[in-house]
Amino acid sequence: MPRSPRSPLLLAGLLATAGVTHFAAPRPYDATIPRALPGRPRTWTYASGALELALAAGLVLPKTRRTAALATAAFFVGVFPANVKMAADWRDRPAPLKAAALGRLPLQLPLVLWARSIAKNGEGQA
């Protein structure tokens, strides 16, 4: 499947936007942190936001793109439990919010595949 040269930049933009929101409005993210994780939810929120920003930077740079793309795919798999928790927590919310929370779950797979396709195409695309 051919990939646009812009693809890494688009994914980087998505990650950067999400990363910034972890710092600008951390409260909603805190609520998605599974209770089984040690420490405070805010620490996990900030760490996740910082990681998203780092992954975005790695995707922009051709020399680090492949490694960052593989790490991004792993990250999307790693945050899936938080999305499951959000969907479960929002089951009593109004229908549009519940639908949005549930809709995030199947979106993880295309995100993982997107990151993997960038890794597969390697460094050479800016």
pLDDT at position 123:
52
Tell me how far apart the alpha carbons of residues 35 and 23 are, in angstroms, rounded to a whole number.
Answer: 20
Instruction: With cut-offs at 50, 70 and 90, classify the pLDDT of residue 125.
Output: very low
The distance of Cα 58 from the centroid of its chain, to the nearest Å, equals: 14
Separation between Cα atoms, residue 79 and residue 61, nearest integer Å: 24
* 7: enclosing H helix or E strand: helix 7-24
Triad 65, 69, 74: Cα angle to 5° = 150
57-80 confidence digits (pLDDT tens): 999 999 999 999 999 999 999 999
pLDDT of residue 49: 97
Inform me whether the pLDDT recorded for 42 exceeds 60: yes
pLDDT tens for each residue of 74-102: 999 999 988 898 899 988 989 988 898 89
Mean residue pLDDT across the chain = 91
CA distances from 121 to 23, 67, 79, 115, 116 (A): 31, 11, 24, 10, 9
